[in-house]
Amino acid sequence: MVADTNTPVPGAAVNFKDFQIASISGANIAFWGFPQEPVNADGIYTDATGILSVIADENTLVPGGDGATFISFFIPSMSGGKVAIKGFFSGATGSTIGVYIATVGGPLEKLMDTNTALDQDRTLSNFGVREESLSGNELVFVASFTDSSHAIYVADLILNEDGDEIESTIDGTWDGVVFTNNSSVFSDNWTDQHFGGGTTFGHIIDRADLVISVRDLTLPSQAGVRIEASQGIGPATVSLCGLQILITAGNAGESTCSSLELKVVSGPITSILAPDITVIIPSGVTTKLTDLGGGDFEIEHLSGDQPIIVEIDGVPQDLDPGEPVFPVSSTHTEEEVFTDGFEEP
């Protein structure tokens, strides 16, 4: 059970009185709830942080609302670490309706409101957002206009308010209990471990001259993150799951951290397991790299038609599709192996 009429409302001295339709993503829930009197003011709540908490209620300042607070809400939509909500407030231009995006443990941000010039020939009057409107980084919604016309739009919800190109929902670190959110401060770290079932973490060691973007893959079939490099030459050095990779402009990969499972969308991408062990993964290939400790590693060719090239002391060997797990050992001491001390909690 997430909540019932015996559950205290977060931040209020009363219990819940009623609920409206909830939205589910994995093991997490967001819902529209109503407190008992004398509070009698609705809000949007979630259990995604491990405890029941407020996303927004009638004490919450409206982003871009010139100091106004919300006066009501509608059904939320949740996907991964994001929640889209429809909120109502009375602003400088009168009654206003807006769509806002919250990130778990992060700030509430305005996507648009009825003052937004979505169409230069029409004026917005309302938005249609339901519990299944948000999927990954996209929000589909119905826009209503004052001329009684309607249109369907899809909005891209990549949030990167601090300019570090790490998506706000994963911009930070996880110590096993608490997620430290860095979405408003330029940082090099990311993790999805604060989401239910998340395992992926990493940080940028050296950006070189590249723009490194990191995006959360929130769809059920796509756990982990996507990393892309652009606008330079590089290579940049990135720690993924405690192992180093080198990426250059045009490279893109998707990774999860059960070990390091890396799908190379645009390659090749090079992983340096140790000073004497380099793994080169071509485009279209997915590999699994496992650090066994003590300078020992396992390399698996999971999918793709091209071979993975494993260089040991500069001597290349091919790991072809369908071949068994490839074990390798470094001749260097464990302290010299390039895991850079960034280990999974």
Q: What is the pLDDT of residues 51-96, one digit of tens each?
A: 888 999 998 888 878 788 999 999 899 988 789 999 999 877 788 9
Q: In the structure encoding, which two tokens stand for residue 278, read together?
A: 């380099």
**The model's pTM:** 0.56
**In the prediction, which pLDDT does 105 show?**
66
Q: What is the pLDDT of residues 290-345, one digit of tens each?
A: 988 888 899 999 999 999 999 999 999 999 999 999 999 987 544 444 444 333 33
Does pLDDT of 162 surpass 90? no
Q: In the structure encoding, which two tokens stand for residue 11, read together?
A: 């931040």
Nearest to 90 by CA among 109, 62, 110, 116: 62
Instruction: Summarize the confidence of residues 129-138 as an average pLDDT.
Output: 87
Q: What is the pLDDT of residues 256-289, one digit of tens each?
A: 887 888 999 888 999 999 889 999 999 999 999 9
Q: In the structure encoding, which two tokens stand for residue 215, read together?
A: 């995006």
Q: So where are the chain's domains?
A: 16-156, 168-336
Does pLDDT of 145 surpass 80? yes
**In the prediction, which pLDDT does 334 show?**
43
192 contacts 199 by C-beta, under 8 angstroms: yes
Among 16-20, 50-54, 104-108, 300-304, whose mean pLDDT is lowest?
104-108
**In the prediction, which pLDDT does 220 show?**
40
166 contacts 202 by C-beta, under 8 angstroms: no
Cβ burial, residue 115 (10 Å; 0-12/13-18/19+): middle
**In the prediction, which pLDDT does 231 show?**
80
